[in-house]
Amino acid sequence: MQFERFVASRLRGRERQGNAVAGSLNGESRGGRGYAAPLVNIAVWSVALGVLVMLVSVCVLRGFQGEIRRKAVGFGSHIVVKPYAMGNTYEEVPVDVRRAEVKAISHTEGVRHVQFFADKGGMVKTDDQIHGIVLKGLERGYDSSFFAGCLVEGRLFALPDSGAGNEVIVSRSLADRLELEVGDKLRTYFWQGDNYRARALSISGIYNTDLADFDLHYVVGDLRQVRGLNGWEDWQAAGYEVLVEDFGRLDEVVHRLQERLGYDLTVTTIVDQNPALFAWLDLLDGNVVLIIAVMMLVCAVSVVSALLIFIFENISTIGVLKTLGADNRSIRTIFVTRGAVTALKGIAIGGTLAVVLCAVQRATGIIRLNPESYAMSTVPIELGVGTVAAVAAGTLAVCVLAMLIPATYISSVEPAKSIKFD
């Protein structure tokens, strides 16, 4: 292999010299002085463009999926465990949070956190508007980092040591629709059987997730407020919300939970609760696969074209090498190595540009989106070393495999016909 690398490096040196004398009077090429040099440059930038498009597409898709998934999970967690609802009643059936299953869930492999919750449907009434809402009640052990990160004004609601807290947070879209501000009173009404119960809640903060279906309806406050509305005891809740360590292993965790829980509890995932949303996210994978396939083809064709011209312009060199005893395999290795260097240059340039662009977008959010259409205000980026390495390795592998096709032409070169004497 030392011989092949040495000859390949010499061919690269001659090609660089050929860049200065390309377009000679007779149009002939010696050592890459004809069409090979400019075509190699075209191949390098074609590969760079392909890698750039692939990396940006993958990073944007992963960022988009991750952001949508994070927001959906923020409202409903990865897994929800609730009692089976029997009969035709619309009232929530409470679960006893002191049950032994709670400890079993928290010790299940893959589970990161277990928390309690309760929802209560109702409405908000202002002087001239009425709007339906869902009051989501949280307790002290609840992971409220999602709502804290989405706050755009005010603060999170306070949870007093005793009694039910009256503070809540509402969404930006709901506040704008009802003309509400931080500190305003929220007149709410909730149905309980054939009657309704009124509550005067105070807005402590305003959040924004850009998920219209959630933002327009969810008001978040103290779990004890929902317990009081439902007439529940302090040890009762609507169910358990389970956060997992790895979303990719969600089905495995669900299977383990189903084996540990009693027959009177049901397990649903965030995917089950929002099938259309996650089906849409899965559909995006097909678009990226198509983009990657097209860009891989572009990279392969560009490198193969450059290598083929390079072989044609070095027919005499091939003949001399065969005369000196080099076999077809060694000569193919020389030219494939040369082509691989071209591909590596393009991969390095494209990868660097992609990383810089993605880093700038993630740091500044300079490219904006319409939140009503995309559920986020800026283009999200999820950039990882694994993604860059996978795209680079895949592109190089495809290019090298494609170059084996033109390299087979070397076997048909006859030294007696290819060597020319000036």
pLDDT classification of 407: cutoffs 50, 70, 90: confident
User: Is 97 in a helix, a strand, or coil?
Assistant: coil
Please tell me the distance from the alpha carbon of residue 335 to that of residue 41, in angstroms, as a whole number. Answer: 16
Please tell me the distance from the alpha carbon of residue 210 to that of residue 7, in angstroms, as a whole number. Answer: 59
Sequence-distant (≥ 6) Cβ neighbours of residue 259 within 8 angstroms: none
Residue with tokens 């317990």: 227
Neighbours of 89 (CB within 10 A): 9
Please tell me the distance from the alpha carbon of residue 224 to that of residue 230, in angstroms, as a whole number. Answer: 10
Got the DSSP string for 221-239?
EEHHHHHHHHT--TTEESE
pLDDT classification of 308: cutoffs 50, 70, 90: confident
- Strand pairing partners for 29? none
* Burial class of residue 290 in the structure, from the number of CB atoms within 10 Å of its CB (0-12 exposed, 13-18 middle, 19+ buried): exposed
Checking DSSP bridges between strand 239-244 and strand 79-83, what pairing results, if any?
A: antiparallel
8 Å CB contact between 411 and 328: yes
User: What pLDDT was estimated at residue 388?
Assistant: 92
Task: For 147-171, write each residue's pLDDT tens digit.
Answer: 998 999 999 999 888 888 899 999 9
For residue 118, is pLDDT > 60?
yes
8 Å CB contact between 372 and 212: yes
Residue with tokens 């009762």: 236
Task: For 233-292, write each residue's pLDDT tens digit.
Answer: 988 999 899 999 998 899 999 999 988 887 788 899 999 988 888 888 888 888 888 989
Q: What percent of the chain has pLDDT over 70?
A: 88
- Mean pLDDT computed over every residue of the chain: 83
User: What pLDDT was estimated at residue 85?
Assistant: 65
Please tell me the distance from the alpha carbon of residue 306 to that of residue 325, in angstroms, as a whole number. Answer: 26
Please tell me the distance from the alpha carbon of residue 147 to that of residue 178, in angstroms, as a whole number. Answer: 21
Q: What's the pTM value of the predicted model, to 2 decimals?
A: 0.76
8 Å CB contact between 118 and 238: yes
User: What pLDDT was estimated at residue 91?
Assistant: 64
The full set of domain ranges for the chain reads 2-69+279-418, 85-263
